[in-house]
Structure 1
Amino acid sequence: MKSKIVKNPDGTRRALSNRHVQMIAIGGTIGTGLFLGSGSTISKTGPSVLLVYVILGLFFFLMMRAIGEMFYSDPSQHTFVSFISRYLGPTAGHFTGWTYWIGLVFVCMAELTATASYVKYWFPNIPSWIVELVFLGVLASVNLIAARLFGEAEFWFAMIKIIAILAMIVTGIFMMTSHAATPLGHASLSNILQNYTLFPRGGFNFISAFPMVFFAFQGIEFVSITIGEAKTPHAVIKKAVNETLLRILLFYIGALIVIMGIIPWTSLSPTSSPFVQVFRLAGFPAAAATINFVVLTSAASSLNSCIFSAGRHFYQLATEVPENSWMYQTFAKISKNGVPAAAIILSAALVLITPLMSLTTTIDSVFTIVTGISSDMYIIVYTLTMLAHRKYRESQDFLPNGFLMPAYHLTSPLTIAFFGIIFISLFLVPQDMIGAVGAVIWTLVFGGLEYLRQKRLSPLNV
């Protein structure tokens, strides 16, 4: 017997089941960074990459506990940015909302570009713009029909990723326990610890691995955006957030251990997917095609989540402007299907710029820079979220018996400090420096303009 779908006061519907939300959490945690980018990270740090993932996984878990605590107190919100507006004021809220939404649009564009490149593996003669239009049209339609359909799509996208990771882990365990012979030696756990040093490629490469892994985890907060449309929000919040660290340990750490157990890390190619390399050594000839399918679904999953999240964030921005404004009248509306249709359509329409990138290398270069800036802005958004959580703890909304962040007085300042250290480290890595400088300029210019705008609108409420 199907449970009745509850309708929120704003017209959205709590149509996402626990099954949907759990898989969305996994989908947000595992991206193409594991399937494609982990080879580059391993080549920089060797087995110490496990330590990098554990440290970052722990701090992302703490951030998710802070977000989860605020959502537990008010699960009616559609985005964690609403808590920044509530506890840090409209200036910080609008700055964060616009910054995060623009960042999401660029993430959508990046993922859409990725889908075209993966499809070209099988169909090299199809123009990229056709592939991009098809994927964008299908996934935007999925988001416009109903939140439940979005959840169902994410469920199966995430299932494909899980099967691929578990298949590799099981294959790896079998190869290591049987000490299977490969062209590179024998599969064994001893490959990880043999001649181990903490900084095999030097301290700089170890430090530069932290931003790389940070961006691999980026998007983990997407699950919180589903809370406003989950059937049993309080139970879902606890389960989805508490299992975040377990998923990271199982899927990331487990996969990395298997990769380095089968392939000595010094022999691992940094430019090829480690998953493809492992399956090929296991005698699986279709490894490249299979992993290409997995990363295609992973990119489609990320694009699907980005459209969902971007629509909710722009809807949130529209609800925070005066009710007589054009933006409020147009975008602060929920369709008959229970979704912010106008906000979703606008977000998807901006992603249509993506096909233009294939027309000139100049646009492509600018896009790369802007994407780097928007990625770096996420560190600032996460930091503001942690600061909003601290203000929540001091407010009347605080639930002493709610879903509390563990050891708050210690873990909260440590998490904020850690995000600050990650941002500073960007200036030490040449390929990240432009994005970091751009993020600082964006914060100063756009943040300053937003402050002046809010001051003009309400001098006493900035």
Structure 2
Amino acid sequence: MKSKIQENQDGTMRALSNRHVQMIAIGGTIGTGLFLGSGSTISKTGPSVMLIYLVLGVFFFFMMRGIGEMFYSDPSQHTFVSFISRYLGPTVGHFTGWTYWIGLVFVCMAELSATATYVKFWFPQFPAWITELIFLAILGSINLIAARLFGEAEFWFAMIKIVAILALIFTGIFMMVSHSVTPLGHASLGNIFSNFQLFPHGPINFIAAFPMVFFAFMGIEFVSITIGEAKSPQTVIKKAVNETLIRILIFYIGALTIIMGIIPWSSITPNSSPFVQVLKLAGLPAAAAVINFVVLTSAASSLNSCLFSAGRHFYQLATEVPEDSWMRKHFAKISRNGVPAAAIIFSASLVLITPLISLTNGLASVFTIVTGISSDMYIIVYTLAMLAHRKYRQSQDFLPNGFLMPAYKIMSPLTIAFFVIIFGSLFFVPEDIIGAVGAIIWTVVFGGVTYLHQRKLVPNTDQ
């Protein structure tokens, strides 16, 4: 017998089951970067890439524990930005909310553009803008119908990624156990340690790989945004967050181990998917088509999650403005389906710019720069989330018997410091410098505007 769906006070529905949330967590952990971008990272760092994934995985785990602890104390919230507003003040919350939402819109646009790119693998002459409109219409409709339908779609999207990674892992294990011989040599774990160097291409390339892996994990926090609409939220958040590190070890470290066991790391082609390279060596001629299908569904999954998240964040922003404002009247509303329909539609309408970009080369260049800036802003947002968690620990809301972040006194400041270091490492990557500088300019300018706006709303404030 199906359990009755609980309605929240704001009209949203707790329709997402445990299996939905867990698969959304897995989907958020496994990005398209693993399937396509890991070859470039391996070529820069060799086997040391596994150390980079592990280090970043540990710090992302602690970040998720911090966010999870706050959601455990108040699972009625739809976004972790609410906690930033609550514990760091409305000025910082306003800045973070708008920054994160704008970033989400650009991520949606990038993923929508990616779907058109992957479809061209099979239909090279098909107009990209039509593909983009089709995907946006389908996934936008899924988000508007019900949260449960969104969860169901994400369940199957994540399942495809899991099957692809497990297929690679089991294929690789079979090849190594059977001592398979490929044109590149024997399949063996010895390939990983042969001529091992910590910095095969110098320490600068090693440092430059950290931002690349960081962006592969970006979006891992999406699962927290589902908690406000999940059944038994305190139970599912603990399971989803606690298994973050295990997923990283299995799906990232496991896949990378297999890849470098089959292909000597120095022989991996950086601009080609290592998944395709391994499966071709295993005798699967359709490897490229299979992986293209996987990354297409991965991009669709990311777009689906982005629309879900962007809608909830814009709804949250609308609830925080004065009651008589136009924005609150039109967007701080929940539809009869239990979703913030107006906020989702508005966010999706901005994503409609993507088909226009597909038709204009000049806009595409600007879009690349702006997307880089918004991605770099995520580092700042994550840092603010950790600072909010520290304030939460000092507040009356703190639950001593709650879902406590382990080794808080050590790992909380270390995680914050690590994110600052990651931002600094952007300046070691030439293509990331413009984005990093843009992120600093955005923080100073928009942060200043937000501060002045809040002072105007609340005279004599110390915000």
Q: Any idea what the Cα deviations from partners look like across 1:62-93, whole Å, max 9, x if unmatched?
A: 00000000000000000000000000000000
SS of equivalent to 1:322: coil
Aligned equivalent of 1:4: 4
SS of equivalent to 1:392: helix
CA distance in 2, matches of 1:325, 1:66: 33
CA distance in 1, matches of 2:358, 2:93: 35
Q: Is 2:270 aligned against 1:276?
A: no
Aligned equivalent of 1:171: 171
Aligned equivalent of 1:221: 221
Q: Shift of the alpha carbon at 1:461?
A: 6.0
Residues 28, 223 of structure 2: 8 Å contact kept: yes
CA distance in 2, matches of 1:284, 1:359: 36
SS of equivalent to 2:226: helix
Q: 1:160 is aligned with what amino acid?
A: I
Matches within 5 A, 1:166-315: 166-315=166-315
Q: Is 2:355 aligned against 1:355?
A: yes
Residues 104, 306 of structure 1: 8 Å contact kept: yes
Matches within 5 A, 1:36-55: 36-55=36-55
Q: Shift of the alpha carbon at 1:270?
A: 0.2
Q: Shift of the alpha carbon at 1:452?
A: 0.2
* Structure 2 spans left out of the alignment, 5+ residues: none
Q: 2:93 is aligned with what amino acid?
A: G
Q: Any idea what the Cα deviations from partners look like across 1:125-173, whole Å, max 9, x if unmatched?
A: 1100000000000000000000000000000000000000000000000
Q: 2:426 is aligned with what amino acid?
A: L
Q: 2:315 is aligned with what amino acid?
A: Y
Q: Is 2:146 aligned against 1:155?
A: no
Q: 1:159 is aligned with what amino acid?
A: M
How well do the aligned residues superpose, as a CA RMSD in angstroms?
A: 0.5
Matches within 5 A, 1:54-73: 54-73=54-73
Q: Any idea what the Cα deviations from partners look like across 1:295-333, whole Å, max 9, x if unmatched?
A: 000000000000000000000000000111100000000
CA distance in 2, matches of 1:204, 1:361: 32
Q: 2:54 is aligned with what amino acid?
A: V
SS of equivalent to 2:221: helix
Q: Is 2:385 aligned against 1:416?
A: no
SS of equivalent to 2:402: coil
Sequence identity (%)? 81
* Structure 1 spans left out of the alignment, 5+ residues: none
Residues 129, 359 of structure 2: 8 Å contact kept: no
Q: Shift of the alpha carbon at 1:258?
A: 0.2
Residues 106, 374 of structure 2: 8 Å contact kept: yes
Residues 89, 461 of structure 1: 8 Å contact kept: no
Seen in structure 2, the aligned counterparts of structure 1 residues 155 and 328 have a Cα distance that, compared at 3 Å, is same
Q: Any idea what the Cα deviations from partners look like across 1:190-209, whole Å, max 9, x if unmatched?
A: 00011111101110000000
Q: Shift of the alpha carbon at 1:433?
A: 0.2
Q: Shift of the alpha carbon at 1:269?
A: 0.2
SS of equivalent to 1:82: helix
Residues 44, 201 of structure 1: 8 Å contact kept: yes
Q: 2:457 is aligned with what amino acid?
A: L
Aligned equivalent of 1:81: 81
Q: 1:285 is aligned with what amino acid?
A: P
Q: Shift of the alpha carbon at 1:177?
A: 1.2
CA distance in 2, matches of 1:247, 1:185: 30
Q: Which runs of 4+ in 1 moved over 4 A?
A: none
Residues 42, 49 of structure 1: 8 Å contact kept: yes
Count of residue pairs the alignment pairs up: 462
CA distance in 2, matches of 1:293, 1:214: 24
